[in-house]
């Protein structure tokens, strides 16, 4: 058996910046703080967290959605790949990232109960806040920068 869950967070960046960083090996590594290799097109393989996570890109809607097959080294040999859907929606404070994780093996609740938050959302918030500072945008919202 398996289960599904959904999490979301607001990131201080545009959907384009998040989409591009997720699909770029160097930026993905920088935004999570751990080595990643990521392709940029459907069918490309990816690894993250120094090989702990692996999968394939299944669907891409530029600046809006990324769908990946996803498994960790904790999955059993008989466990099918899970699926991660990353939806990006612009907000006045940046972007709402909604993550849907489907087909997680029963008993592996750490992904929902802190894993995504601690290993992706928190470091991504810090990364994009630093990127905004580098660009000289401080803490202003995206809406305040738009003409």
pLDDT number for residue 143: 44
User: Which uninterrupted H or E stretch holds 17?
Assistant: helix 15-22
> b or e along 104-122 (b: 16 or more beta carbons within 10 Å of the residue's beta carbon)?
bbeebeebbeebbeebbbe
- Give 15-56 pLDDT, tens digit per residue: 999 999 999 999 999 999 999 999 999 999 999 998 999 999
Burial grade of 77 (CB within 10 A; 0-12, 13-18, 19 or more): exposed
Determine the Cα–Cα distance for residues 125 and 107; give it in Å rounded to an integer. Answer: 28
pLDDT at 111 over 50: yes
Nearest-CA neighbor of 112 among 123, 101, 121, 103? 101
Higher pLDDT, 84 or 112: 84
Determine the Cα–Cα distance for residues 49 and 140; give it in Å rounded to an integer. Answer: 31
pLDDT at 126 over 80: yes
Q: Where are the alpha helices (DSSP H) in 51-121?
A: 116
Distance from CA of residue 99 to its chain's centroid?
Answer: 7
**pTM of structure:** 0.88
What domains lie within the chain, and their CATH numbers? 2-145 (3.30.530.20)
């Amino acid at each position: 058996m398996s289960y599904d869950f959904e999490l979301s967070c607001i990131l201080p960046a545009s959907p384009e910046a998040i989409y591009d960083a997720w699909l770029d090996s160097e930026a993905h590594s920088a935004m999570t703080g751990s080595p990643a290799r990521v392709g940029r097109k459907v069918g490309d393989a990816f690894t993250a967290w120094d090989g702990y996570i692996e999968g394939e890109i299944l669907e891409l809607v530029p600046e809006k959605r990324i769908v990946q097959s996803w498994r960790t080294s904790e999955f059993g040999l008989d466990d099918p790949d899970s699926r991660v859907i990353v939806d990006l929606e612009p907000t006045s404070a940046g972007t709402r990232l909604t993550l849907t994780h489907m087909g997680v093996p029963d008993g592996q609740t750490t992904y929902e109960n802190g894993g995504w938050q601690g290993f992706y959302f928190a470091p991504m918030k810090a990364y994009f806040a630093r990127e905004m500072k580098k660009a000289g945008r401080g803490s202003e919202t995206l809406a305040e920068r738009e003409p």
